[in-house]
Amino acid sequence: MNRILILFAHPALHKSRVHKHLIHAVDGLEGVTFNDLYETYPTMHINVRHEQKLLTEHEIVIFQHPFYWYSTPCILKEWQDLVLQYGFAYGKNGSALQGKKFLNVMSTGGFEENYQTDGAQRFTIRQLLAPIEQTAFLCGMDFLPPFVVHGTHQLSPEEIANHRDDYRRVLIALRDGTIDLDAARNFPRLNSELGAVLPPSAIPH
């Protein structure tokens, strides 16, 4: 079983249409640790040793967050600046994260067609995540396509519930090692074609 660490960052969860439902995808899942950074560190004073210990205890690391100004909420940047130290995450003897898998689980107000080279945002989500992808590469991690929920302002309650259920299916497949990562790498986001990356038993009929 792969242990999963979710580093969750949302500074206004009470206003969220999506993440306050997505976090329930984790309910009761064995092997999944949910770490709400804003709740744990309301003054932004991050316990570096504790966070590093959590990283060493898990095989898969997830940044879950809204996509703020083409990046993460600020506490995740602070987390990266402090926790991913030379000698721990990279550099001489910095091999603590080697071989671990990493992905973003994120929401955007814009529709998927906006995040294209010919769209309103001018770049794809994957292109905009390049600094995080390079960080993962430097740390020797396997960067996976992101799980993205687009168009959050227009989603119906039923659609949000479907995304929550899809997220839970992905978490279970990642944990159990039943997700087809080779197939997943062919898609711009992990939840583009779940039927092609999850085992048949995970797909509702």
pLDDT score, position 205: 57
Q: Give the residue among 22, 32, 16 at the shortest CA–CA distance from 73.
A: 16
Name the 3-class secondary structure at 143: strand
Alpha-carbon dihedral sign for residues 99, 80, 143, 170: positive
Matching CATH number, 4-202, of 3.40.50.360, 3.40.50.300, 1.20.1440.230, 3.40.50.10880: 3.40.50.360
Instruction: List the chain domain ranges.
Output: 4-202
Q: Band the pLDDT of 200: cuts 50, 70, 90.
A: confident
pLDDT score, position 127: 96
110 Cβ contact list (under 8 Å, min separation 6)? 120, 121, 150, 151
pLDDT score, position 201: 78
Whole-model pTM: value is: 0.95
Name the 3-class secondary structure at 47: coil
Name the 3-class secondary structure at 149: strand
Q: What is the pLDDT of residues 49-79, one digit of tens each?
A: 999 999 999 999 999 999 999 999 999 999 9
Q: What is the pLDDT of residues 11-26, one digit of tens each?
A: 998 889 899 999 999 9
